[in-house]
Amino acid sequence: MLSRLLKEHQAKQNERKELQEKRRREAIAAATCLTEALVDHLNVGVAQAYVNQRKLDHEVKTLQVQATQFAKQTGQWIGMVENFNQALKEIGDVENWARSIELDMRTIATALEYVYKGQLQSAPS
């Protein structure tokens, strides 16, 4: 009888050990699934952040190229405006020179006219 009780006790202990081992394997499997699910969830966020970072990097490069082109174009516009201003100044200089020449010519014409009239009056008729 004692040996039968011992065998029953050992059989129950073996069943409990097997049940405990089975539950341990299930717990490990569940923990592994949970860990993978959490990592996958985090990886989605990380992947989205990476995609967004790449888009931002591309936009920054595009903006830098456009800013460089704009600066170059602005420099060209400034050069054109400066050349235009210089041409206007030169036109003003030519206009002043022409007025000066015109005034001198009128003075000469008036003087010649005065001399001619003076010669006419002094000539015997």
pLDDT of amino acid 122: 74
Average per-residue pLDDT in the chain? 90
Is there a domain that residue 110 lies in? no
Say how many domains are in the chain. Answer: 1
pLDDT of amino acid 72: 97
Is there a domain that residue 120 lies in? no
Helix (H) or strand (E) holding 125: none
Between CA 25 and CA 22 the distance in angstroms is: 5
**Residue of 36 and 94 predicted with greater confidence:** 36
Q: Which domain holds residue 25?
A: 1-85
Q: What are phi and psi of 121, to 5 degrees?
A: -75, -30
Is there a domain that residue 50 lies in? yes
CA distances from 68 to 13, 60, 71, 77, 82 (A): 80, 12, 5, 14, 21
Between CA 40 and CA 48 the distance in angstroms is: 12
Name the one residue in this structure whose structure tokens are 């050349």: 83
Please work out, in degrees rounded to the nearest 5, the angle formed at the alpha carbon of residue 27 by the alpha carbons of 22 and 31.
Answer: 150
Is there a domain that residue 100 lies in? no
- DSSP secondary structure code for residue 124 in this structure: -
pLDDT of amino acid 68: 97
